[in-house]
Structure 1
Amino acid sequence: MASTRGKMSTIAARIYFFLIIFQIPLFRVPCRSGMCTTPLEVTSSQLVANDIFPAVVMKALLYPGAVANGIINNMTIPRWDNILNIYNLTNVKEASPVTELQRLEVLAGSYFSVAGALVCLLKPGRMSMFGTLLVIWGLVKEGILGKPVNTDPTKAVYVYPTIVIALVCAFASVKYDVKKITGGSAPVRTVAKPLKSSAKSKLK
């Protein structure tokens, strides 16, 4: 049973990794680069704008999804040097950070989602689950509560059905140790009893 749960969590973690790295659209929110549809796009626009990682690292993260989208949309493979232009990341440093600051839950959740997707290749954990929940809460807060208020219909927040798959995979990728949850049971110690023959010999 434990091995089955381990296999299921590993498979779920792999599916979650492919959803994030190949940039399957999960939502649509305004960001520095325009409109972002994946946690990786939100994370990349913030990291590139603040020069946190070198451009080559961001290109390496974005390239698999760019190749997948290029093959699906127009059967072409994008050039490595053109990756930042494809995602409109060349001028994000001049863009206003207000959009990210208004959606801190989506921004933080995207960070956790991308980090969790990378970490789950080595060991599935709870980071992807927390990230997905944060993203969903940020989207729900804006869609239902209307915070922040958006008057431009072209920049309206939209949630794709694929986010349900990401949420299920994020939860399923977490390995739960039943013994740790229940506290485990202390091992029973057996007390050795003297044999009847040894007891009689002592009386003699």
Structure 2
Amino acid sequence: MFTKVLVAEDYEIANQGIIKVIQEGLGIQNIHESKYCDDAYLKFRKAFQENEPFELLITDLSFKEDHKVQIRTSGIDLIQDIRKIQPNINVIVYSQESRPDKINMLFQKLDINGYVCKGQNAVRELVSCVQGVFRGDTVLPPEVTEASTDNIVNLDDFDIMLLEELSQGLTKKEIVQKLKKLKITPNSESTIDKKLSKLFDDFKAKNTTHLVAIVKDLGLL
């Protein structure tokens, strides 16, 4: 079982609840906590530099703003920055977010190892999730496994790249020029049109601005 865990959760009661669950349910005693993403990152970096790295990160997605200015304001920021230093760290997201599409996007974009939705069965599911991740499994929550596949959008690398360029304000022609310059194929304007048409349908977006807003809300950008 994991021996060193970092918990990032801004509500102290929830933080203590997570710690109690994994201590009593899994026997893990070396647990560090933080209410801020920046503080969690500093604890992680210090442990890594001292050659005593964390094996598991359990983090919420959203953190309440207060007087303390933060560089990292979300669990997504925290995961991305930690993974830049320790790509193989195991990550479990523990959040109120229950939309299957957004949860699925987190697995696709951030390559997280497990997800638990806060709620009635959260304690049991968190213990099971940690156990599964320790075994090397990717642990999807019921919100995803029980959802209709028709309601879950799967994006490939080209889709993600296209969305990122659109979010920067590039036009279709500018994107085509950039693809050709980078020698990325396919790179025709008709291909971009087809991709955009599918993305509009998948996300039920009215226009490009609406599409970018939706995918940002889903945590894709």
TM range (shorter): under 0.3
Q: Which has the higher helix share?
A: 1
Give TM-score, length-normalised by structure 2.
0.23
TM-score by length of 1: 0.25
Larger Rg computed on CA atoms: 1
More strand by share: 2
Which one scores higher on RCO, CA 8 angstroms, separation ≥ 6?
1
